[in-house]
Amino acid sequence: MTAGRIISIINHKGGVGKTTTAVSLGEALAREGLRVLVVDLDSQCNATDMLLPGRAFALSAFDVLNPAQGELRPEDCVQPTDIPGLDCLPNRHDSIYLEPGLIAMGPEGFRLFRERLQAFLRAAYDLTLIDNPPNLGTFVAGALLASDYAIVPCDAGSLASLRGFSNALDFIEEIRENGNPDLRFLKGLVTRVDRRTSVWKTIIEEKTAEMGEDWVFRTVIPMNTDFQRAEYSGRTIFQVRPGAPGARAYRELARELLAVLGMAPCNS
């Protein structure tokens, strides 16, 4: 059996669609018949709220990241969602307070996530998507040390997002050189595309001239108010409006991602 792939979704800037991508892509991949886990490492817990609305749970990413936590079984931290094939490793808002303790541990603190979870993720899931906080801090470093690939969402109309994209690429390379030589930048993902304007096309053309054709997914994610409706109601876009342009885009992205990884849909 092929080991499952682990993908971190990162960007230094918030509001570029990291959580939307983790949740929506995760559901789209599950709809293709894969066994998928979304890991919520962001203390804002938006992925948790969308996938496990109103759910109580005893263990979470807080316990995985807590240096004071003793032995734990990773499977006890995972919760099934209402979506067949999709599980979630939830988070708690107070996980943000764990960061000083992890930093105090030195290199061992950065490797804690990998040591406690990586083997389980590879064995239990075809794909794991990690929703990271909007920074390049301790949690993101820990996630990248455990990951095979990184996807970097980029807001189509934001220069600040482009700067965040460049910072994220530099950080991925630093982790690859100094702790996880198997880590690879997979592709950028252009989000919040307003097709009434041409700005997003200019951004893609400029980055393609700089980085080559393979830097970005062909699929782009449109601006779509259904994303906001879904987040506000604690549901996914597929649950709110499965025929929405945003839902269709994430289904296309799931198929493109599988092709890039050389994986076949399990329900084909």
Q: What is the CATH number of the domain that holds 59?
A: 3.40.50.300
Q: Which pLDDT belongs to residue 97?
A: 95
Lowest average pLDDT, out of 73-82, 148-157, 169-178, 200-209, goes to: 200-209
pLDDT in tens, 209-243: 888 888 999 999 988 888 888 888 888 899 989 99
Angle between the N-to-C axes of helices 225-233 and 245-261, in degrees from 0 to 180, rounded to the nearest 10: 90
Look at residue 266 and tell me if it is in a domain.
Answer: no
pTM for the whole structure: 0.95
Look at residue 268 and tell me if it is in a domain.
Answer: no
Cβ atoms of 150 and 183 closer than 8 Å: yes
The answer for residues whose C-beta is within 8 angstroms of residue 6's C-beta and 6 or more apart is: 118, 121, 122, 127, 128, 130, 146, 147, 148, 149
Q: How confident is the model at residue 158 (pLDDT cuts 50, 70, 90)?
A: low
Strand order in the sheet with 149-155: 79-80, 86-89, 36-40, 127-131, 5-9, 149-155, 184-191
Give Cα 158 distance to the centre of its chain.
Answer: 20
Beta 149-155 vs 127-131: how paired, if at all? unpaired
Please state the rounded mean pLDDT for residues 37-52: 96
Q: Which pLDDT belongs to residue 268?
A: 53
How far apart are the C-alpha atoms of 19 and 50, rounded to whole Å?
A: 9
How far apart are the C-alpha atoms of 113 and 63, rounded to whole Å?
A: 10
Identify which has the larger pLDDT, 107 or 267.
107
Q: Which pLDDT belongs to residue 164?
A: 65
What total number of domains does the chain contain? 1
How far apart are the C-alpha atoms of 129 and 126, rounded to whole Å?
A: 10
Look at residue 194 and tell me if it is in a domain.
Answer: yes
**Would you say residue 94 has pLDDT above 80?**
yes
Cα torsion 48, 229, 24, 205 to 10°: value is -130
Cα within 13 Å of Cα(164), Cβ side: 28
Q: Which pLDDT belongs to residue 162?
A: 66
Q: Which pLDDT belongs to residue 227?
A: 87
**Sheet strands (E) in the chain:** 5-9, 36-40, 79-80, 86-89, 127-131, 149-155, 184-191
Q: Which domain holds residue 165?
A: 5-261
Look at residue 267 and tell me if it is in a domain.
Answer: no
Q: Which pLDDT belongs to residue 41?
A: 97
Look at residue 75 and tell me if it is in a domain.
Answer: yes
